[in-house]
Amino acid sequence: MVADYVLASTPEEAAELLAADPAAIVMGGGTTLMPRATRGQLNGRRVVGLARAGLSGIARDGGLRIGAMTPVREVAALEEPAALAEAARAVGGATLRGQATVGGNVLMERPYGDLVPVLLALDAELEVLGSGGTRRVPLVEALKNDPPVGAGEILTAVIVPDVDGAVSYQRCSRLATGSPSIVAVAARVRREGDAIAEARLAIGAVEPRAVRADAAEEALVGTSGDADAVNAAVAAATGALNPVDDVAASAWYRGRMAELFVRRALTEALEGGRG
């Protein structure tokens, strides 16, 4: 069993404890760590818990500030942004959503991370506490590192700015609930007049982490979003993907579904999205 479990009373205390013991592990909701502890994989290590560090809660101030320890269930109950709530409802089952946290969902690799494509489409940022203080980093930048948050750092909040354009969220999975995503796509466009001024296309569950389809986004900007533009964007997006094989789906199937679901998400986003 673990050596000890310390519930930090502030995020600063958690960061200090982690910095002091390089072998220590941070725990949020515990949904992925507890199974490891039960199987004797964390024997002898210290676990630093965030459950009492005051990191839970959603505040609305222009955009949204979602504390990292907020249960996914609370995001699922939001009315705005609708696509984020919809993505949250895809996480696990009803009971688990009360225990899984937003922070955990954002930081974990496939098959977790259903919130990430929508957060990418919304230009979300991460608020991170480290020894140097608090910093903000765009989620898309953070995801380029593995892990996205550095050793000894704590993810304290996810910041969702108030952006223009509604997000379209399309998800492929075997079952409606309690089933890992095979493909999850979030798309958003902002027009100036008839032309697309800004486009976001995020694809999750296909690769280890969700990705922004940069080439596809560029292909859309300046166009009217007609059939040719959509075809070009779909081709650019899927061409850049390296789908993985796992128990939920083969790489081949993922690739085929990615094409279909990217097209659906773009089409819906161009027609006004869902929010």
Binding interface with other proteins (CB under 8 A): 1-5, 7, 29-31, 34-35, 37-43, 47, 49, 51, 92-96, 98-99, 177-178
Nearer to other proteins, 98 or 150 (CB): 98
Nearer to other proteins, 40 or 54 (CB): 40
Residue 71 C-beta: closest distance to other proteins, Å: 10
212 Cβ neighbours under 8 A, 6+ residues apart: 120, 140, 200, 201, 202
Look up tokens 């222009």; give the residue: 62
Is residue 4 helix, strand or coil? strand
Contact call for residues 174 and 168 (beta carbons, < 8 A): no
Nearest to 84 by CA among 99, 92, 74: 74
Nearer to other proteins, 49 or 204 (CB): 49
208 preceded by a cis bond (ω within 30 of 0): no
β-strands 168-173, 125-130 pairing: unpaired
Residues 148, 105, 257, 202, CA torsion sign: negative
Residue 160 C-beta: closest distance to other proteins, Å: 25
Residue 69 C-beta: closest distance to other proteins, Å: 12
Residue 163 C-beta: closest distance to other proteins, Å: 30
Nearer to other proteins, 95 or 145 (CB): 95
**Could you tell me the two tokens for 68?**
């990292």
Element (H, E) at 36: helix 33-38
Nearer to other proteins, 3 or 59 (CB): 3
Residue 56 C-beta: closest distance to other proteins, Å: 13
Residue 273 C-beta: closest distance to other proteins, Å: 25
Q: Give the strands of the sheet with 181-192, arranged side by side.
A: 168-173, 181-192, 195-204, 211-212
Nearer to other proteins, 165 or 180 (CB): 180
Residue 1 C-beta: closest distance to other proteins, Å: 5
Residues 135, 208, 201, 216, CA torsion sign: positive
Nearer to other proteins, 4 or 271 (CB): 4
